[in-house]
Amino acid sequence: MNKKGVLVTGGAGYIGSHTVVELIGAGYEVVIVDNFSNSDASSLDGIAKITGTKPIFVEADCCDKEALREVFEHYDFSSVIHFAAYKAVGESVAEPAKYYRNNLLSFLNVVELMKEYHRPNIVFSSSATVYGDAEVLPVTELTPRKPATSPYGNTKQMAEDILRDIVSANNELRGIALRYFNPIGAHPSALIGELPRGVPNNLVPYITQTAAGVRECLSIFGDDYPTPDGSCLRDYIDIVDLARAHVVAINRMVEGKSEECYEVFNIGTGSPVSVFELVQGFERANNLKLNYKVAARRAGDVTAVWADTTRANEILGWCAERNLEDTLRTAWAWECNVRKEK
């Protein structure tokens, strides 16, 4: 079995494409499976330009088990990173069945084929959403998960549980769930980044599109939260730092260092940042003024969540390195690049 081979589902997407770049940089041989449901081929060109390597690409939907089986038949890899999933919280509330079907079926197909083809290692993309509105901050991996507030969040909790049960029942398999906090920014080359379709749901793409004049005005959802400046607190993690966490997780499994068959790690910076602070940081980093106003709270938002990253620091030897303003410069450089191409 090719220990250096990694299958990356959703590898053309935002987190996937950055992770592929870091994997290639670390000497891994990558096979990408993506159906372009929320991405396009431009990210594959970006990966090739940055790394000088064109990864193998198969256009397929992970819900199509036979199409995925072909990939397991044809390519040799010991590890899988499973990103392929829908991620819009609001849409998941409106169309729950679509989310449960897509996110759970694709995940089950991947783990069943791993078992069948004896591919031992999987990293699963989980989310800080599993903590909900936590009572004690920062959250550690032992902080009890709260009932999910959206079908999207529920698919993450359910997939974590399914993974834990499957690897416990099969001593050939090992799994690591990475709970991401809020990924932001882009590769420093500005050749890959986040490409939201339609109106962005997330804060940083909305900010960059507002700065670019695509959106008129950013709404800050709520200034009456019980926080120092009244806006919500989050843990914004640079996308390249986040991508590197996947490489160290894969290294750990490939080198046989994981002590447990199932491990969970928070991947964040450990520092809370308010929406106002993020906006001001963006203005300072890029020397521009943003048009914004305070609006009503957004349904479903938690007041505050940030990570205790001790486990990732000590066990994975990983920590976030890039500072917030540098990250916000990459976000703006990427937005400018996207606009130039259009």
What residues are annotated to the active site?
A: 152
CA distance 333 to 147: 38
Give the Å distances, CA to CA, from 17 to 41, 42, 91, 219, 297: 11, 10, 23, 29, 32
CB 253 within 8 A of CB 121: yes
Euclidean distance between CA atoms 66 and 191, whole angstroms: 33
Q: Which is nearer to ligand UD1, 216 or 255 (CB)?
A: 216
Q: Residue-wise over 235-247: b if at least 16 C-beta within 10 A, else e?
A: bbbbbbbbbbbbb
Q: 51 vs 303, which CB is nearer to ligand UD1?
A: 303
The 56-59 sheet, strands edge to edge: 56-59, 29-34, 5-9, 79-82, 121-127, 174-180, 262-267
Closest separation between CB of residue 219 and ligand UD1, Å?
5
- Segment lying near ligand UD1 (by CB under 6 A), choices 15-23, 99-107, 218-226, 237-245: 218-226
Q: 257: which 2 tokens?
A: 């260092």
Where in 84-123 is the site for ligand UD1 (CB under 6 A)? 87, 89
Closest separation in Å from C-beta 275 to ligand UD1: 5
Question: Within 149-178, which residues bind ligand UD1 (CB under 6 A)?
Answer: 150, 153
> Contact with ligand UD1 (CB under 6 A): which of 39, 129, 154, 327?
129
Using CB under 6 A, pick the residue from 220, 249, 328, 338 that binds ligand UD1.
220
Task: Take residue 342 and report the two structure tokens written for it.
Answer: 């259009």
Asked if 41 contacts 12 with a C-beta cutoff of 8 angstroms, the reply is yes
Is residue 236 within 8 A of residue 181, CB to CB? The reply is: yes
- Cα–Cα separations (whole angstroms), residue 103 to 69, 117, 120, 163: 18, 21, 21, 13
Which of these segments, 51-59, 99-107, 296-304, 311-319, binds ligand UD1 (CB under 6 A)?
296-304
Contact between 271 and ligand UD1 per CB under 6 A:
no
Helix (H) or strand (E) holding 328: helix 324-341
Q: Please identify which residue in 26, 117, 221, 283 interacts with ligand UD1, judged by CB under 6 A.
A: 221
For ligand UD1, which is the closer residue by CB, 172 or 224? 224
Answer for which of 51, 219, 227, 271 binds ligand UD1 (CB under 6 A) is: 219
Q: Which of 106, 126, 127, 157 binds ligand UD1 (CB under 6 A)?
A: 127
Q: Does 298 bind ligand UD1 (CB under 6 A)?
A: yes
Instruction: Give me the 25-64 binding string for ligand UD1, x by CB under 6 A, dash otherwise.
Output: ----------------------------------------
Q: Which of residues 196-215 bind ligand UD1 (CB under 6 A)?
A: 201-203, 206
Q: Enumerate residues 6+ apart whose C-beta is below 8 A from 248.
A: 316, 317, 318
Q: By CB under 6 A, is residue 273 in contact with ligand UD1?
A: no
* Contact footprint for ligand UD1 (CB under 6 A): 87, 89, 127, 129, 150, 153, 182, 201-203, 206, 218-221, 232, 234, 275, 298, 301-302
